[in-house]
Amino acid sequence: MAEKSPIYILSAATLGPGQDTASADRRVLAEDAMPLDLQALLKTFTEQDLRRAGHFTELAVVGSQLCISRLKQPLNQGTAVYFSTGLGEVQKTVALFQQVMDEDTGLVSPYSFVNSVSSTAGFYVAKAAGLKSRNLTVCQEEFSFETALKLAQTDLENNEVDFAMVGGADECSHPRAEHMHRIQLEDSQSMGEGSGWLCLGKASRNAIGEVLMVKEITGDTPAAWLTAVEGILSQWLKKGHMTYLLPGFRLEKTNINNLMNRLPEMELKNYLDYCGCFHTAAAFGLASVFDETRKEPALYFHINRNTYGRTMVVGVYAFPR
Amino acid sequence: MISITGIGAVSSCGSGIKSLVEHMHEGRDSSTPLSLFPLPFKDEIRVNQVKYAPSGDEGSRIDAMVLNALEEAMAEAGLNKKKLSDSAFILGSSGFLFEAEEEYRQQKEKGITKPAPLARRGSGHVASRLAKQLGIQGPVLTLTTACTSSANAMIAAANMLRMGEVRRAVIVGAEALSAITLSGFRSLMLLAPNGCKPFDAKRQGIQLGEAYAVLILEPNKTAKNKVCGWTNLCDTNNVISTNMDGRLIQQTMAGALSCANINPGQVIAVKAHGTGTIDNDIAEGAGMRLVFDSKVPPFTALKGYVGHTLGACGAIETAAFLGCLNAGFIPPAIGFDQQDPSIGISPIKSPMEALPGYYMLNFFGFGGNNTSLVLSYG
């Protein structure tokens, strides 16, 4: 069995629904996000012609390019890409439905079809970055980003890869009622979109943080769940650092309140206020904490649940800078 | 060492590895005209569709087929449902448009004039649903890297097992036919009018297929089949076709050989990706010639039997190939007749004896996603 080594975060970046790429630009979402035109922003990062790519691919490419631009060292050409998405390309696939299921012409836009293919966004991320290395796309609903991060962690610890770019992106679509079916939001939740990326490596040089863990926990009853989460978090809380809870969009209010009552030294950070709800919002939430400057190290724990009752916890350590 | 302790399959050749192996031994074509759903164009489309729906407790056609293949794999591995609970469950598919299309048609039949497209959730929901039904507590994930999806699922599983993260992994390749996918490939002019003819001079494209396959991977077990090496790389030359010079394919295959710690001369035979498209077969042929120099080992292609099953092809073609090796032969490539001078090499046309040793399996997909596996038999 290969020996485990720490996984360091070398850079991080987010792209929010208002084209915000830094914490100073973020605004609380007052209503459902609208997919904004990213062409101008895209051109600031890549000369690649992505006119025929969809908004979803643009989200993925801009987020990943921004993350690369924040690296304090050249991007290693062996960097593996772990791209995650819950829904994948929605807008182009909806267009395909109309072309194929509603019309009798049989005429399908080849570009819509190619853009709807599950590996297309990951391809453009790699192409824009000049990477020909391992390239995986992970779809696991609310846990897509967590699962991709876990895969990257395993591959890094296993010495399968030396560097990894792990990201998540999802687009929103209108009308809301249709999107609600796909993502199953509550009426009170804002539909969001965005992209979040982390560049990871095994050397601490130039690191801005560390991935502490990606864990799945079980606990059938609320009490057992709380005990299980507390068991994971308390060992880190003992270190006395500032600690924040980043609640995912399926984590129930009761669970959040119970957790905050049980672990009062933790502070709540509602990143969903800025990006809205989407399957890979965890990528946005976790990457966004590295936008902030801090004099003291801080711990961030992202916790989310899925509709099957599973829970995933991701812990990251943000270094002072 | 990672062992493959159980395999199971449902395909156009029938239910079970035995029926698949029989088709391949006899070189039988299992394609039929598409009958599962209407298409928005008049051409007759031949596909490799599963001809019966196995019974399932509830849920979709996909669930029933996967559970059928899983039952076969579990029986071979000597497992029961209880023993699966701490396994990883890793599914590879290009997506599940079939279900979303079914729901769309049903809504239209009910008189809803503007049904919601894509009413189903993303591609991950099938794995979540099946894992819940099976009581699996281990990691659940879905890889969607087009035609390499379930081959990449095997790589992910092998790494988890090497790190001791799980006791075993259940790999599922699942691909149902979809009107959108068929229409999309038609719009790209990649559908073959006369069947899949991998590496043949008169090849005209792909024939899509439906398949479900399960492989159970466990560390350090006695088994006839082992996973010895792997590599996944991304060719960013073109989103729908790999670089014709075959260099990235060469690097992918060389990476898998290096991972397995063997040299090219130790490969007994290759299961090529062999889509039957003009460009891809040229690129794959070039890649093989670069890796093996002038000594390309016997190679075959299996899409003539089961069709191009996209995200499932990693699992179904691995299951089919291993089934044949375990039955003592390397299957020939049906559909191949005449060598293409621009490829310069030909797949085998009749069964060959399977010798113990190393075999390479190639899978190359849209999005430049290239994967090679090295497996051992015997």
Determine whether the interchain pair B39/A90 forms a contact, defined as Cβ–Cβ distance below 8 Å.
no
Low-confidence ranges of chain B (pLDDT < 70): 53-59, 120
For residue B59, the model assigns a pLDDT of 58
Q: Which amino acid is at A129?
A: A
Determine whether the interchain pair B144/A139 forms a contact, defined as Cβ–Cβ distance below 8 Å.
yes
Helix spans in chain A (H): 39-43, 55-69, 91-97, 110-116, 120-129, 144-157, 176-183, 222-237, 253-262, 272-275, 281-288
Which of B189, A57, A109, A36 is closest to A49 using CA atoms? Answer: A57
Determine whether the interchain pair B234/A133 forms a contact, defined as Cβ–Cβ distance below 8 Å.
yes
Do A209-318 and A7-201 fall under one CATH topology?
yes
CA distances from B23 to A130, B19, B174, B198, B334 (A): 44, 6, 20, 17, 11
Query: d(Cα A255, Cα A253) in Å, to the nearest integer?
Result: 5
Query: d(Cα A289, Cα A277) in Å, to the nearest integer?
Result: 17
Determine whether the interchain pair B159/A122 forms a contact, defined as Cβ–Cβ distance below 8 Å.
no
Task: Walk me through the domains of chain B, giving residue ranges and CATH numbers.
Answer: 2-377 (3.40.47.10)
Gyration radius of chain B's alpha carbons = 19
- Angle value at C-alpha A138, between A133 and A139, nearest 5 degrees: 160
Residue-level length of chain B? 378
Contacts of B183 in chain A (CB under 8 A): 96, 99-100, 106, 108, 113
Q: Å from B44 to nearest chain A CA?
A: 13
CB pairs under 8 A between A and B: 220
Determine whether the interchain pair A119/B240 forms a contact, defined as Cβ–Cβ distance below 8 Å.
no
Contacts of A140 in chain B (CB under 8 A): 124, 127-128, 140-142
For residue A299, the model assigns a pLDDT of 96
* 3-class SS of residue B24: helix
Q: Which tokens hold the place of A286?
A: 């976790």
Q: What is the pTM of this model?
A: 0.97
Q: Which tokens hold the place of A176?
A: 């809301």
Q: Å from B287 to nearest chain A CA?
A: 16
Q: Mutation target for B interface from A46, A135, A181, A216: give the one with most B CBs within 10 A.
A: A135
For residue A218, the model assigns a pLDDT of 78
Contacts of B239 in chain A (CB under 8 A): 114, 117, 120, 123-124
Q: For chain A, 321 residues long, give each residue's pLDDT as a single digit of tens.
A: 445 789 999 999 999 999 999 999 999 998 999 888 898 899 898 887 777 889 999 999 999 999 999 999 999 999 999 999 999 999 999 989 888 988 767 678 898 899 999 999 999 999 999 999 999 999 999 999 999 999 999 999 999 999 999 999 999 999 998 888 889 899 999 999 999 999 999 999 999 999 999 999 877 788 899 999 999 998 888 778 999 999 999 999 999 999 999 999 999 999 999 999 999 999 999 999 999 889 999 999 999 999 999 999 999 999 998
Query: Based on the number of CB atoms within 10 Å of its own CB, is A291 exposed (0-12), middle (13-18) or buried (19 or more)?
Result: middle
ipTM of the complex: 0.96
* 3-class SS of residue A320: coil
Query: What residues contact residue A244 under an 8 Å CB cut-off, 6+ apart?
Result: A266, A267, A268, A269, A289, A298, A299, A300, A301
CA distances from B274 to A192, B29, B62, B270, B277 (A): 41, 16, 25, 11, 8
Query: Based on the number of CB atoms within 10 Å of its own CB, is A186 exposed (0-12), middle (13-18) or buried (19 or more)?
Result: exposed
- Assigned superfamily of A209-318: Thiolase/Chalcone synthase (3.40.47.10)
Q: How many CB atoms lie within 10 A of CB B11?
A: 32
Give the domain ranges of chain A.
7-201, 209-318
Scanning every residue of chain B, which has its alpha carbon at the shortest distance from the alpha carbon of A180?
Answer: B119
The topology (CATH level 3) of A7-201 is Peroxisomal Thiolase; Chain A, domain 1 (3.40.47)
Q: Which residue from B97, B143, B248 is facing A136, i.e. has the nearest CB? A: B143
Q: H or E stretch including B184?
A: helix B179-187
Q: Which residue from B128, B141, B188 is facing A308, i.e. has the nearest CB? A: B128
Q: Which residue from B104, B122, B251 is facing A139, i.e. has the nearest CB? A: B122
- Angle value at C-alpha B118, between B112 and B120, nearest 5 degrees: 100
Q: Which tokens hold the place of B44?
A: 């007759």
For residue A4, the model assigns a pLDDT of 72
Query: What residues contact residue A253 under an 8 Å CB cut-off, 6+ apart?
Result: none
Q: Mutation target for B interface from A123, A146, A217: give the one with most B CBs within 10 A.
A: A123
Backbone conformation region of residue B188, classed left if phi is above 0, alpha if psi is from -120 to 50, else beta:
alpha
